[in-house]
Structure 1
Amino acid sequence: MRSMLGDLNVWLLLAASLSGVAALLHVLIVFGGAPWYRFFGAGEHMARLSEARHWWPPLLTSGIAMVLGLWALYALAASGALSLQLPWPKLALCLITAIYCLRGLAILPLQALAPERVTPFLLWSSVVCLGYGIVHLIGLKQVWEHLQ
C-alpha cells in the first residue's frame, strides 16, 4: 500500500504499534503492581500474589510482554520499516493474526455457555484483540505475495 510513508504497509505499521503498546502496558503492569493487575482485569488472585511479592505475576506478565514485543517486531519487519529478515514471516504472521482473532472471538462461546463468567474485562479485551487481529489480517493480505 502506497502512502505518505512510501512503500511501507500502513496496516502492518499500525499492527506493530498496537502490539508494541500492548507489550509496553504489560511491562508497566509489572512495575505498577497489584493496583495495575486489578485495573487491567488480571484477577484478584494475581493482584494478591503481586502484593505478596510472589514471582509468578511478574514472570507471566513479562513473558506476555516479550511475546507481544516479538509480534510487534514481525509486523514491523513485514511492513517494510525494517530490513530485518525474521524466520518464517508468513507462518508467524498467520499465527499472530489467528491468535488475536481467536482470542477476540473466544468470548462468543463463553457468552453462550457461561454468561455469568463474562466480565467487563473479558468483553473489552475481546473487542481489542479482535480489532488487533483484523488490522493484522488486512496488512497481511496486502503483503502476502512479498513474504516468504
Structure 2
Amino acid sequence: MLQIDHDRFQGIETLANDYNTALMTGAGLSFIAAMLHLVVIVGGPSWYHLFGAGKRFVRAAEAGKRCPTLITLGIAAILAGFGLYALSGAGFLPPLPMLRPLLCVITLVYLIRGVAGPVVLRGTGRSPIFIWTTSGICLIYGLCHLVGSAQMWQLMG
C-alpha cells in the first residue's frame, strides 16, 4: 500500500493555503511573459517575427536598430513589475506602494488588451492567430488578477 509522507509536502500545503492562488498564478504568468520577451530579444529578428511583431518592428530589428530591443526590454520590465504587484497582493511579498490601485490598473490593462485586442490589432500586419491567441492569454491573465484582487481586497488594506 502506498503511504504519503505528509511532512514532506508541508511546504506545498502552506503555499497553497497562505497565499492567494489566483494572484500567485497571475504573477507566474506575468513573469513567464516577461521572460518570453527577453528570449525574443536574444533570438533576434526571426523570433520577433515568430512571436507576432509587426513587419516594421521586425525590419527595424533586422537593420540592427536599438528601438525594438529597448521597447521589448521595457515591456519585459513592466510585465515583471506586474508580477511583483501580484505577488504582493497574494500576500507572498510585503505590501508594495499603491497596491490596490495598481492591481486595479494591471487588471484593467490585461482585460482591455484581452477584450479589445482583436478589434484594435486588426489590420496592423499581425496574423489573426497571433491576435486571437495573445488576446485570449491576456484575458486569462486579467481574470486571474480580477479574481485574486477581489478575494484579497480587504486584506490589502
* Residue matched to 2:145: 136
Aligned mates of 1:44, 1:119 — CA distance in 2: 14
* Contact 1:107 1:122 (8 Å CA) reproduced: yes
Q: Please state if 1:18 is matched with 2:18.
A: no
Q: TM-score, normalization: structure 1?
A: 0.89
CA 1:62–1:117 in 2, change beyond 3 Å: closer, same or farther?
A: closer
Amino acid at match of 2:129: P
Within a 5 Å distance, the mapping from 1:118-137 to structure 2 comes to 119-137=128-146
* Structure 1 residues 98-141: Cα deviation after superposition (integer angstroms, max 9, x where no partner): 01000001035459x97x98722111110000011011111111
**Which of 50, 59, 62 in structure 2 is aligned with 1:51?**
62
Which ranges of structure 1 fall in alignment gaps of 5 or more residues? none
**AA at the equivalent of 1:135:** C
Gapped regions of structure 2 (runs ≥ 5): 1-11
Superposition TM-score, scaled by structure 2 size = 0.84
Letter in 1 for 2:29: L
Q: Deviations over 1:4-47 (max 9, x none)?
A: 22311111110000000000001111111101100110122111
Tell whether 2:63 aligns with 1:72: no
- The number of residues matched between the two structures is 143
Is the deviation greater in 37-46 or in 54-63?
37-46
Displacement of 1:85 = 2.8
- SS of 1:138's equivalent in the other structure is helix
Residue 28 of structure 1, aligned match among 36, 39, 57: 39
CA RMSD of aligned residues (A): 2.1
1:108–1:39 distance in 2 versus 1, CA, 3 Å: closer
